[in-house]
Structure 1
């Protein structure tokens, strides 16, 4: 077990006594208690002796060994001052490294506990919030962005947060495309200047009225501390101990238990600058356990959030085990989806894609095949309130989009795909309508969706085989176009729904067999959509004239159906209210309740102790 405790030399008599106790006493918890007692006796014997304090290394403050039976049973912190969150997202094999720029170089919890953006979007409410920056402004043609940073903001080592940090990080990321958003900064930033300590001016290579959103999105551009990073290789630098601006500082890591502990920064700038303060003194992130263990733990209030409860039955078991558990359901930004290879005949025909859509029973998927009950997806984005203004029901009503096996058969009949001797439809040259549906190896819900679709497609004379594709091979098959149909998810633009279609420009098509890096994995070929999206990208989303372009884009999507949004992705988060009040609930999702999102820290601002 790794605890990184500083150990001091003791008097000669102390070590043999300790050894005797370690031999005689077998209980690990009892050993720890006896060692602590012996340590107090040793300190008493040494009273009056001057002992030099250990040097200040800047490393996180050491605490006692974590083990069952120690204060709080699971963690060495007072339970009623600690929020304990089980989690799956994050790099649980990375420790003593908090580099958010290099690939897979940051230990778990850093986004939620310590990283902050210039701007935030409360995705649950749609509010745009100025955070480390207090304003932004563009010139008239959107080729220059000026950002004002907050004078009161500072890093957790006390150093002021300034425009020089923003400039430094942009230029550092620009220098290495492998860094987070390296390609974005290379493409869009011509130059950047810090005209004073709190003003950064970014000159763009071309007009972009949405460039500021790179500093606002979840997992967006993470500004780093110039005084910490300067002179280091950004691909190798550990940033340990982590220097960030957020409300928590790293307290201790326990790699052997897949757990780290964060402690409230009593000098957090946001307490005065933003009027916010986290409730829990300690924030513990742990790798999720098996469902049975998590239910047993939440029953006796050992944890505040069990994460492994992936279906309604397990959720209810947690609620039954502990009446203090309440549920918070919310939509992931990515509906579950069926994707087509738009460059492969006959999937290249919009009519064939409409026929397949007629065989999709979205209501059945929503009611029976998802982990928790959800709703059919009517548009290719989350049904968040921020997307209501893009969800044009009148345009959707222009098309027949509901589950209708008869309509699917009629479309294929009209196209000339007739049933062969085995019942599988063939074209005029005898080519059968037979496809493979690829599913990520780990994705169970997506497999269920694909399997159900394969059974429904048989009713319209299409044979579909479902195959799990493991690891990177799944994504390589999409990038190279070596697939027919895919069942996974539909992730577009979270803030401005129709911008989802920007990646689908026909000018970004890569031939099948060549790996794409343009975003158009699906080889969508709709020149009219490309023209509309080029206009939208050059126009401010606040321009009243943009709505007509949005409507054109949505109409082209439903006309061609390059991919199918199937159901909204509903996740339900169980939270234990025994020690902490203020968790989100399904009736009050005031902030993103997903524990793996960077915005989860804003839930922490609302938590208050119950007194238990």
Structure 2
């Protein structure tokens, strides 16, 4: 699929103008019908979601997209999309959690009673488990489950965590019912971090021995319905792969969250749902049927001006968004020519005007990540930035020792842009936008390429040294991760402006990760070097050269196939240092330098997400002013730990546990909304003939209502029909705009 470049992302292009006009208008069309009636049920009806009272259910968006097999919840199977989409981590657990609200991160016991106990020489790790935790089918959780999980990963090399387990662990046995002894192959004081949940990053969850020991092939086993130690069990799901409904265990006090906190999670149910379009998300938010999710950045004005009166964002002022802990950007296939050349990767970096790209693609809502996960996160920036900034300012390119590529003034440029749009900043430019990024310097980029025989033809297009047209394939999400999608389209635009032929490949989630793991890409958009704890070894070990596989073979980690000897040596040395040793920071600094020098991944920024909470039904959400948790809606094992047990029911929606509220008042329609609709009506009246040309499509779309309602499960046929009307009106608006332009 070829993607338009500068025609799409040009700052003052017609297409972008249409995008920024049409999206808010569609939002108004979506919201207005619900602003007056709030879609509350009539007195004769109950307000229910998936058959349960609205006030009993917490509704959370899933980001992974629709999945083909919603029943495959085997979390230990490599690249299983259902494991991430379904919310199965509400049921299964790890030994430890890393509390990232503590500066630098702190490991706290989860299934484990407390921190691990290492022998003096770090050759043995002893783990004491909490007592009184039971699997959801009534079987007690014991040391046998932990031992079984480790041994199975030692035996079966196909499992996701087998490589790391086999590298570091020699054996494990149960010393008693609640104590596990793990023998290590080589002394290491931080193996426990592989068993620790760190926000959105994967971890080795513990398997129920009594389930998996009866399984002939653990990779073919779907683990459905899942049996876990968490507070929730699966109640229902959509066979089309759009949603999963989880119910709080009757014996929740015997779940890990019950044992740890001694407090019942307020939501009786948790619904994980995928809305394939932002229009549907806005519709659900307007109806108070989506509590926690993400909206397109263009809708920030609708939130801050009160179109969604109960919606809250992370920041009260610009940039409003939550900056996750992953440094999103283009990742190079370092095993594939010419991206295996460091100068080429740096040339492509210097060919990007980051201010132009991000003010267009992400509306300037970014936190730059020039030194990757370490220095760019709010967790670690105070630790790493002071040590790296002086080096960055004096850093010269490996391929041109006379050239300094770092530009510390870029945050001020973003701040100036935001103020020019009329926004009030929520902090200083450095606090909000980071410490800087790389210069935009096409001349230096050209110099680096010509050094390796690249040249421009008569049309200004770049050619490979052998004379072939240089064509870059950029793989990005097909909409299931909108920020990555926009970054992909923005980098395509930037490189096209530089004279490179670029082909965009929009790919669905399951295929995306499959292609990434086998190296079937030139460049793809991803988050490789995130960071939330000061010891970077746990997260960055995935980029050790030991994980590099030939193109075509599945790589469990290091999909970019980057083999840096010094980086791997540093990781091996860091593996021997305890996480609380101050030296881990010095090693982190050196690891950052190696990545910067090699540039295997062009870390653009921490991808700002317009995360919203709808506080109509549930309140107590974390914000920048109250950062007692993190809004990683895509990773239940993070917000379950920090947030779910802190939520409080407002009593505004009918509930079996919190009562039935009085009928809410009917809100008035804002005057500005009425005026906007009047304008839209006038526009529609002038193009009735255009409506006639698409009238034939209505019957075809109407015929799909049943299928649509079946896929969405909880959406009514009326909502589906409304969706059709919105599509038609959107098409009408686009035609009107084109006509006037």
Regarding TM over 0.5, the answer is: yes
1:335-374 superposed matches below 5 A: 335-344=327-336, 346-370=338-362, 373-374=365-366
* Cα displacement (A) at 1:214: 1.8
The one of 195, 200, 204 equivalent to 1:215 is: 195
Task: State the SS of the aligned residue for 1:209.
Answer: coil
CA separation of 1:69 and 1:112: change in aligned 2, threshold 3 A: farther
* Cα displacement (A) at 1:232: 3.5
- The residue that corresponds to 1:396 in the other structure is 392
- The residue that corresponds to 1:48 in the other structure is none
Alignment pair present for 1:192 and 2:172: yes
Cα distance between partner residues in 2 of 1:235 and 1:353: 37
CA separation of 1:114 and 1:414: change in aligned 2, threshold 3 A: closer
Q: Are the aligned partners of 2:372 and 2:603 in contact in 1 as well (CA < 8 Å)?
A: yes
- The residue that corresponds to 2:299 in the other structure is 313
Alignment pair present for 1:601 and 2:640: yes
* Cα displacement (A) at 1:493: 5.6
CA separation of 1:70 and 1:250: change in aligned 2, threshold 3 A: farther
* Cα displacement (A) at 1:299: 2.6
- Please provide the CA RMSD for this pair: 3.7
CA separation of 1:261 and 1:545: change in aligned 2, threshold 3 A: closer
- The residue that corresponds to 1:591 in the other structure is 629
* 196-205 or 524-533: bigger deviation: 524-533
* Cα displacement (A) at 1:273: 4.2
Task: State the SS of the aligned residue for 1:134.
Answer: coil
CA separation of 1:319 and 1:275: change in aligned 2, threshold 3 A: farther
* Cα displacement (A) at 1:145: 1.4
Cα distance between partner residues in 2 of 1:507 and 1:224: 26
* Cα displacement (A) at 1:473: 6.6
Q: Are the aligned partners of 2:483 and 2:607 in contact in 1 as well (CA < 8 Å)?
A: no
CA separation of 1:541 and 1:212: change in aligned 2, threshold 3 A: same
Alignment pair present for 1:535 and 2:573: yes
CA separation of 1:98 and 1:268: change in aligned 2, threshold 3 A: farther
Alignment pair present for 1:464 and 2:501: yes
* Cα displacement (A) at 1:406: 3.8
Cα distance between partner residues in 2 of 1:452 and 1:91: 25
1:312-331 superposed matches below 5 A: 312-313=298-299, 316=302, 320-328=306-314, 329-331=321-323
* Cα displacement (A) at 1:608: 0.9
Alignment pair present for 1:87 and 2:62: yes
Q: Are the aligned partners of 1:337 and 1:563 in contact in 2 as well (CA < 8 Å)?
A: yes
Q: Are the aligned partners of 2:517 and 2:555 in contact in 1 as well (CA < 8 Å)?
A: yes
CA separation of 1:73 and 1:488: change in aligned 2, threshold 3 A: same
* Cα displacement (A) at 1:500: 5.8
Q: Are the aligned partners of 1:163 and 1:198 in contact in 2 as well (CA < 8 Å)?
A: yes
CA separation of 1:493 and 1:144: change in aligned 2, threshold 3 A: farther
* Cα displacement (A) at 1:577: 1.0
Cα deviation digits, residues 526-577 of structure 1 (max 9, x gap)? 4333333332233333333444433333222222222210121122222111
Q: Are the aligned partners of 2:347 and 2:446 in contact in 1 as well (CA < 8 Å)?
A: yes
Task: State the SS of the aligned residue for 1:160.
Answer: coil
- The residue that corresponds to 2:283 in the other structure is 296
Cα distance between partner residues in 1 of 2:208 and 2:490: 50
CA separation of 1:70 and 1:93: change in aligned 2, threshold 3 A: farther
CA separation of 1:268 and 1:243: change in aligned 2, threshold 3 A: farther
Q: Are the aligned partners of 2:520 and 2:552 in contact in 1 as well (CA < 8 Å)?
A: no
The one of 208, 231, 236 equivalent to 1:225 is: 208
Cα distance between partner residues in 1 of 2:344 and 2:276: 44
Which has the higher relative contact order, 1 or 2, with Cα contacts under 8 A spaced 6 or more apart?
A: 2
Cα deviation digits, residues 306-351 of structure 1 (max 9, x gap)? x463333278369744311112342333322223344455544433
* 107-116 or 590-599: bigger deviation: 107-116
- The residue that corresponds to 1:118 in the other structure is 95
Task: State the SS of the aligned residue for 2:193.
Answer: helix
State TM-score, norm by structure 1.
0.77
Cα deviation digits, residues 152-171 of structure 1 (max 9, x gap)? 33333444322122112222
Q: Are the aligned partners of 1:312 and 1:372 in contact in 2 as well (CA < 8 Å)?
A: no
Cα distance between partner residues in 2 of 1:84 and 1:484: 37
Q: Are the aligned partners of 1:476 and 1:515 in contact in 2 as well (CA < 8 Å)?
A: no
CA separation of 1:576 and 1:315: change in aligned 2, threshold 3 A: farther
- The residue that corresponds to 1:334 in the other structure is 326
Task: State the SS of the aligned residue for 1:385.
Answer: coil
* 120-129 or 202-211: bigger deviation: 120-129
Cα distance between partner residues in 1 of 2:473 and 2:213: 48
Task: Give 1 or 2: higher helix fraction.
Answer: 2
CA separation of 1:210 and 1:279: change in aligned 2, threshold 3 A: same
Q: Which runs of 5+ in 2 are unaligned?
A: 1-42, 315-320, 396-404, 406-437, 653-741
* 388-397 or 192-201: bigger deviation: 388-397
CA separation of 1:90 and 1:155: change in aligned 2, threshold 3 A: farther
Aligned length: 543
CA separation of 1:221 and 1:577: change in aligned 2, threshold 3 A: same
The one of 129, 154, 158 equivalent to 2:108 is: 129
* Cα displacement (A) at 1:451: 4.6
* 218-227 or 207-216: bigger deviation: 218-227
- The residue that corresponds to 1:268 in the other structure is 253
Q: Are the aligned partners of 1:137 and 1:147 in contact in 2 as well (CA < 8 Å)?
A: yes
1:135-534 superposed matches below 5 A: 135=114, 136-217=116-197, 218-233=201-216, 234-235=218-219, 237=221, 239=223, 242-253=226-237, 255=239, 258-269=243-254, 270-271=257-258, 273-288=260-275, 290-305=277-292, 307=293, 309-313=295-299, 316=302, 320-328=306-314, 329-344=321-336, 346-370=338-362, 373-381=365-373, 383-388=376-381, 389-391=383-385, 392-399=388-395, 400=405, 401-412=438-449, 419-424=456-461, 431=467, 434-440=470-476, 442=478, 445-446=483-484, 448-457=486-495, 462-468=499-505, 470=507, 483-492=521-530, 495=533, 496-497=535-536, 502-504=541-543, 513=551, 515=553, 517=555, 519-534=557-572
Q: Are the aligned partners of 1:442 and 1:470 in contact in 2 as well (CA < 8 Å)?
A: yes
CA separation of 1:407 and 1:98: change in aligned 2, threshold 3 A: closer
Q: Are the aligned partners of 1:439 and 1:446 in contact in 2 as well (CA < 8 Å)?
A: no
Q: Are the aligned partners of 2:611 and 2:631 in contact in 1 as well (CA < 8 Å)?
A: yes
Q: Are the aligned partners of 1:372 and 1:571 in contact in 2 as well (CA < 8 Å)?
A: no
* Cα displacement (A) at 1:240: 5.2
Q: Are the aligned partners of 2:475 and 2:505 in contact in 1 as well (CA < 8 Å)?
A: yes
* Cα displacement (A) at 1:175: 3.4
